[in-house]
Copies of this chain bind each other. A is one copy, B any other.
Amino acid sequence: MYSSPLLPREKVFRDPVHNYIHVEHKVILDLINTTEFQRLRRIKQLGTSSFTFHGAEHTRFTHSLGVYELTRQICNNFRHNYPTKAPGDGLWDDDANRLVALCAALLHDIGHGAYSHTFEHIFGTNHEHITTEILTSPETEVNQVLRAIAPDFPEKVASVIDHTYPNPQVVQMISSQIDADRMDYLLRDAYNTGTKYGLFDVTRILRVMRPYSEGIAFESDGMHAVEDYIICRFQMYQQVYFHPVSRGMEVVLQHLLQRAKYLYEHHQLGELTPTLLVPFFENDFTLHDYLNLDDGVLNTYFIYWREDPDDTLRDLAHRFLDRKPFKSVTYSQETRALIPKMRDLISAAGFDKDYYAALNDSYDLPYDAYDPSSKEPKTQIEIMAEDGSLRELSTLSMLVAAIAGRSTGDERFYFPKEMLAKSDGGLFTPIYQEFQSYIHNGALAFPQRKESTDDDL
Contacts and interface: CB of A to CB of B under 8 A. Distances in A.
Interface in A196-248: 196-197, 199-201, 203-204, 207, 219-224, 227-228, 231, 234-235, 238-239
B55 A62 contact: yes
A26 to B, nearest CB: 11
Interface in A279-335: 292, 294-297, 299-300, 303-304, 318, 321-323
A322 B292 CA distance: 12
Interface string A187-203: 00001111111011101
Contacts of A222: 451
B14 A53 contact: yes
A398 B407 CA distance: 11
Given A300-B297, A396-B446, A203 B20 contact: yes
Contacts of A322: 33-35, 38
A401 interface: yes
Nearest to A65: B54
A301 to B, nearest CB: 8
A195 to B, nearest CB: 6
B228 A14 contact: no
Interface centre among A65, A196, A456 (most CB of B within 10 A): A196
Interface in A344-400: 385-386, 389, 391, 396, 398-399
Nearest to A22: B207
A427 interface: no
A402 B234 CA distance: 14
A61 interface: yes
A27 to B, nearest CB: 14
A37 to B, nearest CB: 9
Contacts of A59: 57
A416 to B, nearest CB: 15
Interface of A: 11-17, 19-20, 29, 33-35, 38-39, 41-42, 50, 53-55, 57-59, 61-62, 65, 191-197, 199-201, 203-204, 207, 219-224, 227-228, 231, 234-235, 238-239, 272, 275-276, 292, 294-297, 299-300, 303-304, 318, 321-323, 385-386, 389, 391, 396, 398-399, 401-403, 406, 408, 446-452, 454, 456
Nearest to A401: B402
A386 to B, nearest CB: 7
A403 B396 contact: no
A391 B445 CA distance: 11
A190 B263 CA distance: 46
A54 B61 contact: yes
A174 B441 CA distance: 39
Contacts of A12: 207, 451-452
B303 A292 contact: yes
A42 B406 CA distance: 38
7 contacts: A13-B452, A14-B195, A16-B55, A35-B318, A42-B299, A220-B449, A398-B408
Given A29-B454, A386-B456, A402-B403, 6 more contacts: A12-B207, A14-B54, A16-B193, A16-B194, A34-B322, A57-B59
B57 A62 contact: yes
Contact of A55 (B15, B54, B207): B15
A451 B16 CA distance: 14
A294 to B, nearest CB: 7
Contacts of A33: 322-323, 454
Contact of A62 (B42, B54, B61): B54
A60 to B, nearest CB: 11
A19 B195 CA distance: 8
A381 to B, nearest CB: 15
Contacts of A16: 55, 191-194
Contacts of A65: 54
B15 A399 contact: no
Contact of A449 (B61, B221, B292): B221
B303 A386 contact: no
Contact of A57 (B11, B57, B219, B297): B57
Contacts of A389: 446
A15 B194 contact: yes
Contact of A448 (B42, B223, B235, B297): B223
